[in-house]
Chain A
Amino acid sequence: MTATFVSTESPAAAGVPPTSEPSGILATLHDWVVTVDHKRLGIMYVVTGLVFLVIGGIEAFVMRLQLAWSGLTLVPPDTFNRLFTVHGTTMVFLVGIPIVFGFANYLVPLMIGARDLAFPRLNAFGFWILLFGGALLYFSFIGGDGLYGAGSAPAVGWFAYAPLTERAFTPGNATDYWNLSVLVTGFGTIATAINLIATIATMRAPGMTLGRMPVYVWTMLTVSAMTLLILPPLSAAQIMLLLDRFLGAHYFDTQAGGSAIIWQHFFWFFGHPEVYVLMVPGFGFVSEIIPVFSRKVIFGYATLVAATVSIGAVSFSTWAHHMFAVGMGGTLNSFFAASTMLVAVPTGVKIFNWLATMYGGKLRFRTPLLFCCAFLFQFLCAGLTGIMLSVAPFNWQLTDSYFVVAHFHFVLFGALVFTIFAAIYYWFPKATGRMLSERLGRWHFWLLVIGFNLTFVTMHVPGVLGMPRRIYTYPADRGWDTLNLITTLGVPIQALAVLVFAVNVLYSLRRGAPAGDNPWEAWTLEWATTSPPPAYNFATLPPVTSRRPLWDTQHPDDPDGPHE
């Protein structure tokens, strides 16, 4: 099918019943606002995430300019605190979560051959409450002064350690906006996670057994289950903080015997598994893309699935490795160091799965595979610095330094964002009916790889030299100037890469080559329907007798089933 993007927006093509209202931009907007279709909500989630990615990126850009060399006064210290707080909150709750769950919205029903998610209206609720949460966070820039006039936008850091967040230390309403924003986006995420679990548990196509589900669906099942266990504790902690700030409770009030440390426990019990909630779907993208572009089945499906579930399970016992510096004692430090290192085992299994899938394959180096290759290298580096930081004495030396900042940006940017771009290049043809430009895709890829590594490889070094994170400037005599300048120089290159990507999307929506149903010759069910899929997804489903139903229909003489 060669339907254009424009036609996906028209009510008739999307199967929305024609209304008496006039067609045009208002009618289109109305259709998108009232939709409960998982594909439209998925696209809205991802677009929301990308818009916030640009906003969060601009905040990072300003911070990097301020740190480019010593003694700059581009932004005052208070503003710098607000920038890193809002940057962190944005990137985790308004970029990572919506993009991860947006893709799941779009892909999970298609991959398992379902008509929609189990609860479409709950799904729409999840999206709109998340958008509302994002609006709350950014409203704090104008509304956060409150009656106290004590500053706008939260400045407590994205993990908002107590007792800094108590009313006595952060008056005004900015911290409350941060709190409510995180709380309501959390409700939306919990709703979506329940929805995904119910969908995967009850709505799989005939023949789609658990053992035949695409690895990506397994990753989403895992992270949805994790979400149900980790996000409510964060909500509970946020509610406790609200009680402290508004009703005079003392949960985190050290003056009344409350504990500042327990906030860290509550927050990181959410915060660390959250990293896996964001990253494991990225593993899912890679596990779908690498086999298709290597023209092979995924190597070791069962071990990949087992590794995915293991990462989810082990992630619940690793949270306090964020807290080695608070003095938990030898026993707890040893336990959390060991459990953190344990995560490296299933993660290593996955890396070997992907490499073994590529080994001996007929590699097609299109843009999605390029991003996956960069992911493999960068994720390996991220994992190695992660193991370094899990060693408690090493961690004491480098805690809260730029080494840590470089480490988790390698995870969330070098690994997660790269897999997200791979996924966008891979599934954009399915969602819009048009291919993204390969030429612009290569520019995007190489600029991003160069810019990213220039910034974040370099950033490790000032960390080892002792540069703490969250300082707005530094003295000239520390030997950090050149390194910081190089770090900052990488940022405009990354910005240019994202600009190329934006141009690519806008250009390809209008002029991109028609995609057809299955442009990559892939094997999972989403490629069995038209591009873009109709509102009902599938007119008829191919029989599912193996993990690669489309291979079976194309090669009836050599079906996969007997080999699995």
Chain B
Amino acid sequence: MNSPASRGRAGVIGFILAETSLFAVFVVAYLFYLGKSLTGPYPTDVLEVPVVATICLLSSSVTVALATRALGAGRVARAGGWLSVTIALGLAFLAGTAREWRRLIVERGFTIGTNLFGTTFYPLVGLHASHVILGLVMLSLCVVFACTGALRSAHAERVELVSWYWHFVDGVWVVVFTVVYVVGR
């Protein structure tokens, strides 16, 4: 029971619980202010459903799972490969968000201060994107360690904890996607 791995698991579960609670408040704020903007633009006017980015992020959950499985089986190079694919998919997702924000901010002049929609939209999507970035940093460290040979199959449980965080970030996106692009649009 008392092993570094079990401690790590308990710690990551606690961390994910706290993060869930954090996101919940931003989601509640988004839903609460839905349709309460005094002026436009409104979600239907400016938002496009990010289909490609969403597919990229959701499929990255599969690739990170494949990476953990490969590492558990002692195939470090293969694990490094799947981790790299995960990072590429994560970057593709971020590129989608960046394009969306550029279009909204630069072309449409729609910012956090425009109306209540902007006030709640950017922090919610931005908070999620910042978590994607944090996940990418951790995944990149794993890839670096795989390249330098520091990553061994003994570390499978630790990489699995990183993958738990990544799955959580994916799960949050499912909620954000539903709230912002399906319910709210």
Contacts and interface: CB of A to CB of B under 8 A. Distances in A.
B1 interface: yes
Given A203-B7, A247-B112, A228 B25 contact: no
Interface stretch (A1-9, A132-140, A190-198, A395-403): A190-198
Interface stretch (B12-20, B44-52, B140-148): B12-20
Contacts of B22: 232-233, 235-236
Contact of A240 (B11, B113, B123): B123
B10 interface: yes
Contacts of B15: 194
A193 B13 CA distance: 12
A232 B1 CA distance: 29
Contact of B25 (A118, A199, A237, A259): A237
A114 B1 CA distance: 12
> Which among A202, A204, A231, A240 has the highest number of chain B CB atoms within 10 Å?
A202
Interface stretch (A92-100, A157-165, A249-257, A466-474): A249-257
Given A202-B6, A257-B36, A194 B115 contact: no
A258 B116 contact: yes
Contact of B115 (A203, A256, A262): A256
A229 B18 CA distance: 6
Interface string B110-140: 0111011011100100000000000000000
B112 A249 contact: yes
B119 A251 contact: yes
B24 interface: yes
A229 B25 CA distance: 11
Contacts of A256: 38, 115-116, 119
A355 interface: no
A77 interface: no
A173 to B, nearest CB: 20
A193 B29 CA distance: 26
Dominant SS at the A interface? Answer: helix
Contacts of B112: 243, 247-249
Given A202-B1, A256-B38, A240 B29 contact: yes
A201 interface: yes
Contact of A228 (B18, B111, B120): B18
A266 B15 CA distance: 20
A538 interface: no
A128 interface: no
A232 B27 CA distance: 13
A186 B26 CA distance: 17
A119 interface: yes
Contact of B17 (A202, A229, A259): A229
Interface in A107-163: 114, 118-119, 122
Given A232-B25, A233-B21, A250 B14 contact: no
Contacts of B3: 202
Contacts of A513: none
Contact of A194 (B1, B11, B21, B29): B11
Contacts of B37: 257
A118 B10 contact: yes
B113 A248 contact: yes
A239 interface: yes
A248 B119 CA distance: 8
A233 B22 CA distance: 5
B11 A118 contact: yes
B1 A228 contact: no
A429 B36 CA distance: 60
A323 to B, nearest CB: 15
Contact of B123 (A198, A199, A235, A243): A243
A25 to B, nearest CB: 35
A493 B46 CA distance: 65
Contact of B7 (A118, A228, A236, A243): A118
A104 to B, nearest CB: 14
B14 to A, nearest CB: 4
A250 B25 CA distance: 16
Contacts of A247: 112-113
Contacts of A203: 2, 7
Nearest to B10: A198
B50 to A, nearest CB: 22
Interface string A215-244: 000000000000011111101110110010
Given A239-B123, A247-B112, A259-B32, A198 B17 contact: no
Contact of B119 (A122, A194, A198, A249): A249
A228 B123 CA distance: 21
A248 B118 CA distance: 10
Given A193-B14, A243-B123, A256-B115, A233 B2 contact: no
Contact of A262 (B21, B24, B32, B38): B32
A430 B57 CA distance: 53
Given A202-B2, A203-B2, A262-B29, A119 B113 contact: no
A235 B120 CA distance: 16
A243 B119 contact: yes
Contacts of A193: 14, 18
Nearest to A224: B14
A345 to B, nearest CB: 26
Nearest to A230: B21
Contacts of A258: 33, 116, 119
Contacts of B123: 239-240, 243, 249
19 contacts: A118-B10, A194-B14, A194-B15, A198-B14, A202-B1, A229-B17, A232-B21, A232-B22, A233-B24, A235-B22, A236-B26, A236-B29, A243-B119, A247-B112, A250-B113, A251-B119, A257-B116, A259-B32, A262-B32
Interface of B: 1-3, 6-7, 10-11, 14-15, 17-19, 21-22, 24-26, 29, 32-33, 36-38, 111-113, 115-116, 118-120, 123
Interface of A: 114, 118-119, 122, 190, 193-195, 197-199, 201-204, 228-233, 235-237, 239-240, 243, 247-251, 256-259, 262, 266
Lowest 3 CB-CB distances: which A-B pairs, in order? Answer: A248-B113, A194-B14, A236-B25
Given A118-B10, A201-B6, A203-B7, 9 more contacts: A119-B7, A119-B11, A193-B14, A194-B18, A198-B10, A202-B10, A231-B18, A250-B115, A250-B116
